[in-house]
Amino acid sequence: MAQSSAANGRPCSEKKTLDDQARNTDLDNDNDDTIIERLDLEASDEEKYSTVPTKTSNSNDNAHIESNVNVNLRFHKLSAHEIEEDDEEDDEPPILKYTRLSALPPNFFRKDPISTLYYDENLFIFGTHTGLLLFTKPDFTHIRSFRAHKASVLSLYTDGTYFASGSMDGTVVIGSVDDANDIVMFDYKRPVHAVVLDKNYQKNRSFIYGGMSGKVVYSYKSWLDQRTELVLDEENGVIVGIQAIDDLLLWMNDKGITIYHVTTKQVITTITKPSDSFRSDLYWPRICFPESNMLLIAWGNYIWSLKISLKGTSGSGAGTSIRSRYLPSAPSLSFRLSHEKKVEIEHVYKMDFLISGIGSFKDDLWIVLVYNQPEKNEETGKIQAQNPDIKLISSIDGATVHEEEIGFDFTDNLGLNDYHLGKHIGERSVRYFIMSARDAIVAEQIQLDDRLQWYLDREMYLEAWQMSQHIVSPIKRLTYGVSYIDSLLKQEEWSEAANMMLKILHVDPSDFPLTDTKSTLGTKASTTLLIEDKEALVKEISTLWIKWISKFIKAGHVEEIVSVVPADTRWNLPKKLFSEILDYWIDRLPESSKFYDLINTWDIDLYDITLTTAKMESYLEQHEDDTRLRKLLIALYERSYNPRKAIPHLIHLKDPNIFGFLTSNSILPYFIDEIPTYITFRFEKPSDLELLPVNKVGAKLQDVIELLVDARHEISPSKVIQVMSDNHLDVLNYFYIEELVNIDELLVKNLENVRVQLYGQYDRSKLLPFLTSHDNYDISKAIEICERNSLIEELIYLLGKVGENKKAMQLIMEQLNDPRRAIRFARIQNDRETWDILLLHSYTRPEFIKALIELADDKSNEYYNPITILQNMNTDVEVEGLKDSVIKVEKENEMTKIMNDLILRIIMKRSQHYSQTYYKDMIRGISIDEKDFEYLASEYEALAVLADTSEGKYRLAKETELLPDSTWAKKSFTSLGPKLEHLKALRQALKLQNS
């Protein structure tokens, strides 16, 4: 894409199409010798422009160029005084960056000032006031140069294949860009201000020109191959510009801007010049096509924005020349369809400055080159030339949004027409060429990397960091942030620096290495990775954190840094740094609670737990009443797997939950001897352990007992019982043993004596069942315990167990006075002596006499009967209810006899029934199959009758079938005895066989 800054420049949006078949067309056959002349270069001209060699042949041009011209594109960055911006924009990068063009030949500006130029997509053409033409590529690689005119070149045009130039000397030169021999010149005797080629010039050799003659002329070859000229406009003043786009033709003169539709041969519209505009030939117009359907015309101090309908017509196309459009054949006139072309004026802006060039910019902006007229120097009184300005104009309202002065060399005696603005869209960037007769400056839209460098040059590191996320590598971007933080620290902006660290040193969790951070961040394991690697970035940021945290701590600015310190263990920062921060806040207790916040927030792996706990211990030595810190220290010891160090602090606090702490940390076995002390923490006063009811004591110690039971595999029950006994905590032993018994009584095996003692002391109801169900205890000690605690029932049992029946019976009769208990005891002992003791002491005691009579039964009849009791009792003893007891006994005896008779009668009847059934079964005959019997009987062998219990039938079988080796099978018997022996032997043999 290309754009011309001259009035006759080609629109920036139009592309020329080369016709390769007509590239080498020979102009020697042209017959118009009076107009066409060959242009020969004089040797003196070549010597004069030796630094810009003329391209005379394709064979040796390259070698010549390489020896004389450096084809690399060369620019010199402008100094600060050459480009002046508004003060209010000093904090923001410029919109454009400027470099001075130095790629053109050195003598080009000094001896051959530029008069006009043209930018094509692939070709740049420069014309000078000395008539020289210079052809270069967009990178300013030299193509060729030669003197085409004797005076100033006023107009240039190219379609990429051919070029055209018009000059003050009245000549038009048209030639091939590549072939130096393919060139012609036309002399019109009057200055030519504008010239353009027909779209199909390569085929039809037609072109349009205009100038001082005031005519717009279309020059073409007639049917007889004679050059003919058709005047399209005249007598409206000097022609100062011609432009062709599609099938539209535009020219500018005193009348204004005329837009001509080639297809219909009609003027679509004429935009009249404003009455207050400058003289037409004083300031030449500048034209640009920002879009395919948009046209910008800057003329003097006016700007027109036109919208053009570019729809093609049926009568024109790519292959239709301007000539055929102007001079159609008769048949074509009859059938050609015409379509209306619309040209709408969108905006007309009157500016307060003169315009030397215009082009499109980004974001609905136009870029204009402003010509500043010379001003009188107040000090010297001389007229002083002014540098031009670059302005960015809003296409919406024409307002200036940006302005800056351009510093040119040699601005003296230069007018508006001596400045040009051209635009070229390259592969990498858009360049604006700001040209004067003696200097050239290239402006480029500032890119992101340019903005970045601008910030860096001015040490605006924050802005550089903010904008560079997607421009440079993370490591490079990090350096900008580092520089900004360093600048803040130099300015003592500690708080702001800390806040910026949080942003600049931020790392997404997903960017951390997947492997263990300690193996990469803390070592050189990742140094082989690329610098852009995420792991390398994290490692670098980690180093920066270490550096700045240390700096903040040393400078006493812990309060500023503490809120931004990374608390992720994957950073693997030195633990000492975090411990120093914690030490800082410990020293500020209790005024500040920040220490508690940090401990509760930070992972224990972040800081050196040994250093921190030592600092806390030291503080607590001076502040023993700081319960909150002491509890926190206990928690730290537990989290750091040093629970034993926490025990002294739990004891200091008399923490009743110390047992849970010991158990959860699996250290209870190490403190078994201190358990009695810890138990006292559960009670308000030590005496409560002895004064409170047993059930309340058990409730308070329930969890302790459960913990001891759960630890039975680590702490033997015997050890627990021994420790508790030594510290007079038998009550805990009682509950402890009971819990063990509920789990497995084998756990308290060999502890029977202890159980007897504890049951006798704390739960008498369980003692007697225990004594009766167990034997592995010391009876003498048990008797002693029972005697000491007046446990009569238990003592009676024990005395009876050791044979002290007399003593036991005396206790029952004297201490308990319980006749029924005495009788039950006598029955258990079941010996004559015990019964005699009971009977001897009962004859004088009415309640015993009555009980003996009422409780008499078959078992007691061996030792006494009620009649004996009645006979031996003292006659003076009055037994209340004796009569009723005797009657009751008698009735019970009679009832017993009746019941026995009934039972005997039932048994006899049942026995008789079974006897008769058996007898009938024994004498019952058996039905067998006759055929089987006849067959088997003929064998003269013993037969066996087999019962099929499933079907209730019988069958015969020979004995040899059952027992092949039987010795009885062939024998015959006539008496019962041998038969029974035979049957017995058969049954035994079958039984052995089946087993």
Q: What share of the chain is helix, strand, coil (3-state, %, to 5)?
A: 45, 20, 40
CA 123, chain centre distance (Å): 52
Going across the sheet that includes 343-350, the strands are 286-288, 294-299, 302-308, 343-350
DSSP element (H, E) containing 371: strand 365-371
How far is it, in rounded angstroms, from Cα 176 to Cα 163? 6
Pairing of strands 227-233, 216-221: antiparallel
Cα angle for residues 75, 394, 272 (degrees, 5° grid): 105
How high is the pLDDT of residue 882?
61
Segment 148-158 shows an average pLDDT of: 96
Segment 93-122 shows an average pLDDT of: 88
Segment 180-197 shows an average pLDDT of: 95
Kindly report, residue by residue over 959-980, the tens digit of the pLDDT: 777 777 777 777 777 677 888 8
Q: Are 441 and 96 in contact (CB under 8 A)?
A: no
How far is it, in rounded angstroms, from Cα 186 to Cα 171? 5
Q: In 486-636, which ranges are E strands?
A: none
User: If pLDDT is split at 50, 70 and 90, which confidence band does 546 have?
Assistant: very high
How far is it, in rounded angstroms, from Cα 268 to Cα 258? 8
How far is it, in rounded angstroms, from Cα 746 to Cα 416? 118
User: If pLDDT is split at 50, 70 and 90, which confidence band does 342 have?
Assistant: confident
Phi–psi pair at 118, nearest 5 degrees:
-145, 135
**Per-residue pLDDT at 840 exceeds 90:** no
Give the SS3 label for residue 526: coil
In terms of Cβ atoms closer than 10 Å to its own Cβ (0-12, 13-18, 19+), residue 773 is: exposed
Omega before residue 590 within 30° of 0, cis: yes
**Per-residue pLDDT at 514 exceeds 70:** no
Q: Are 291 and 306 in contact (CB under 8 A)?
A: no
Assessment of whether the complete model's pTM goes beyond 0.85: no
**Per-residue pLDDT at 835 exceeds 60:** yes
Of 311, 295, 436, the residue nearest 366 (C-alpha):
295
Q: Are 323 and 300 in contact (CB under 8 A)?
A: no
Q: Are 244 and 196 in contact (CB under 8 A)?
A: yes
CA 242, chain centre distance (Å): 63
DSSP element (H, E) containing 279: none
Kindly report, residue by residue over 268-308, the tens digit of the pLDDT: 999 999 999 999 889 999 999 888 888 999 999 999 999 98
**Per-residue pLDDT at 25 exceeds 60:** no
Q: What is the greatest pairwise CA distance in the chain? A: 191
Q: 553-557: long-range contacts at Cβ-Cβ below 8 A with a sequence spacing of 24 or more? A: 553/577, 553/580, 553/581, 553/584, 555/494, 557/494, 557/498
Give the SS3 label for residue 675: helix
User: If pLDDT is split at 50, 70 and 90, which confidence band does 88 have?
Assistant: very low
Phi–psi pair at 738, nearest 5 degrees:
-65, -40
Q: What are the angstrom distances between the C-alpha of 542 and each of 466, 513, 516, 568?
A: 21, 13, 15, 11
Which residues face 182 on adjacent strands?
none
User: If pLDDT is split at 50, 70 and 90, which confidence band does 138 have?
Assistant: very high
Segment 187-208 shows an average pLDDT of: 92
How far is it, in rounded angstroms, from Cα 333 to Cα 662? 114
User: If pLDDT is split at 50, 70 and 90, which confidence band does 520 have?
Assistant: very low
How far is it, in rounded angstroms, from Cα 639 to Cα 656? 20
Give the SS3 label for residue 511: helix
Q: What are the angstrom distances between the C-alpha of 117 and each of 121, 355, 821?
A: 14, 17, 142
Give the SS3 label for residue 218: strand
Kindly report, residue by residue over 751-772, the tens digit of the pLDDT: 889 999 998 888 988 998 999 8
Token pair of 631 as six digits: 């509890």
Cβ count within 10 A of residue 621: 8
562 against 530, higher pLDDT: 562
CA 616, chain centre distance (Å): 38
Q: Are 183 and 205 in contact (CB under 8 A)?
A: no
Q: Specify the range with the lowest mean pLDDT, choosing from 74-88, 854-868, 913-927.
A: 74-88
15 against 709, higher pLDDT: 709
Kindly report, residue by residue over 660-705, the tens digit of the pLDDT: 999 999 999 999 999 999 999 988 887 888 888 888 988 989 999 9
**With b meaning 16 or more CB within 10 Å and e meaning fewer, what string describes 206-226?**
bbbbbbbbbbbbbbbbeeeee
CA atoms within a 13 Å half-sphere pointing along the CA-CB vector of 267? 10
**Per-residue pLDDT at 346 exceeds 90:** yes
Identity of the amino acid at 73: L
Token pair of 773 as six digits: 């169900």
How far is it, in rounded angstroms, from Cα 607 to Cα 918? 99
User: If pLDDT is split at 50, 70 and 90, which confidence band does 529 have?
Assistant: very low
Per DSSP, helices labelled H in 8-91 are 43-48, 61-68
Q: Any idea of the CA torsion for 796, 799, 803, 807, to the nearest 10 degrees?
A: -70
Helices and strands (H and E) in the chain: how many: 37, 35
How far is it, in rounded angstroms, from Cα 840 to Cα 873? 10
**Per-residue pLDDT at 589 exceeds 80:** yes
**Per-residue pLDDT at 101 exceeds 50:** yes
Phi–psi pair at 566, nearest 5 degrees:
-65, 125
Give the SS3 label for residue 6: coil
**Per-residue pLDDT at 391 exceeds 50:** yes
Kindly report, residue by residue over 945-957, the tens digit of the pLDDT: 777 666 667 777 7
Segment 510-527 shows an average pLDDT of: 52
User: If pLDDT is split at 50, 70 and 90, which confidence band does 81 have?
Assistant: very low
Phi–psi pair at 123, nearest 5 degrees:
-150, 135
Token pair of 340 as six digits: 């209306």
How high is the pLDDT of residue 507?
87
**Per-residue pLDDT at 938 exceeds 90:** no
**Range among 240-254, 310-324, 345-359, 836-850 with highest mean pLDDT value:** 345-359
Which sign does the torsion angle of CA 815, 820, 822, 824 carry?
A: negative
Mean pLDDT of the chain, nearest integer:
81
How high is the pLDDT of residue 319?
39
**Per-residue pLDDT at 583 exceeds 90:** yes
Report the interhelical angle of 534-554 vs 474-490 (nearest 10°): 10
Segment 399-411 shows an average pLDDT of: 90
